[in-house]
Amino acid sequence: MSWVLGLTGGIGSGKTAASDYLANKGICVVDADVVAREVVEPGQPAWQAIKEHFGADALLDDQTLNRAWLRTKVFAEPEQRRWLESQTHPRIRDSIIQQLQNATSAYAVLVSPLLFESGQSLLTQRTLLIDVPVTTQIDRATQRDQNQAEQIQRIIDAQMPRDEKRQRADDIADNSGTLAALHQQLDALHEQYLQLASHN
């Protein structure tokens, strides 16, 4: 298995901007959010279980998941959220491990908003937090997704507090400035990760 960097950050922090930049340097990126979508595609075992458990309300006309309905449901009812996670998390983990094992770049990046909460950090040798103030997260996420600020705040509240993430991360990149400033920090970190991976 490659040397793996875990990359995390809250909603609107710029995880994708960071992982895209590393991908452009030839680094294999495995995105837990993408994997999470793949495991619930129509016909997949997790999709089947969700359909049977929640019924027709959980699906759109094209048979894909009705994410807005599901999100509202599981944020309102913690036991439903736990049930949903019990169906999706083990399958996501298996797929992530498989993709990381297939990586051929100098090191691999696992991007996950719930890197610490989900235990996915155990799959990594080092962790990098893309960090911005919560007010910035809310501003960026509401502009990007047309989500209500209250909904964004609920998502933030359901995740590990920013201070705790900052304590747990090995490295922190501040993305409250320009994209160029983020890239400059990533350039230095990338060199460091190449060094660490080569001694693996």
Residues that constitute the known binding site for ATP: 12-17
Q: If you write DSSP's letter for every residue of 41-59 in order, what string do you get?
A: STTSHHHHHHHHHH-GGGB
Instruction: Find the helix or strand (DSSP H, E) in which 144 lies.
Output: helix 134-145
Question: What is the identity of the amino acid at 31?
Answer: D
Known binding-site residues equal 12-17
Question: What 3-state DSSP class applies to 171?
Answer: strand
Instruction: Find the helix or strand (DSSP H, E) in which 195 lies.
Output: helix 179-198
Give the count of beta carbons closer than 10 Å to the beta carbon of residue 36: 19
**What is the C-alpha to C-alpha distance for residues 187 and 190, in angstroms, rounded to an integer?**
5
**What is the C-alpha to C-alpha distance for residues 5 and 128, in angstroms, rounded to an integer?**
7
Question: Phi-psi bin for 173: left (phi > 0), alpha (psi -120 to 50), beta?
Answer: beta
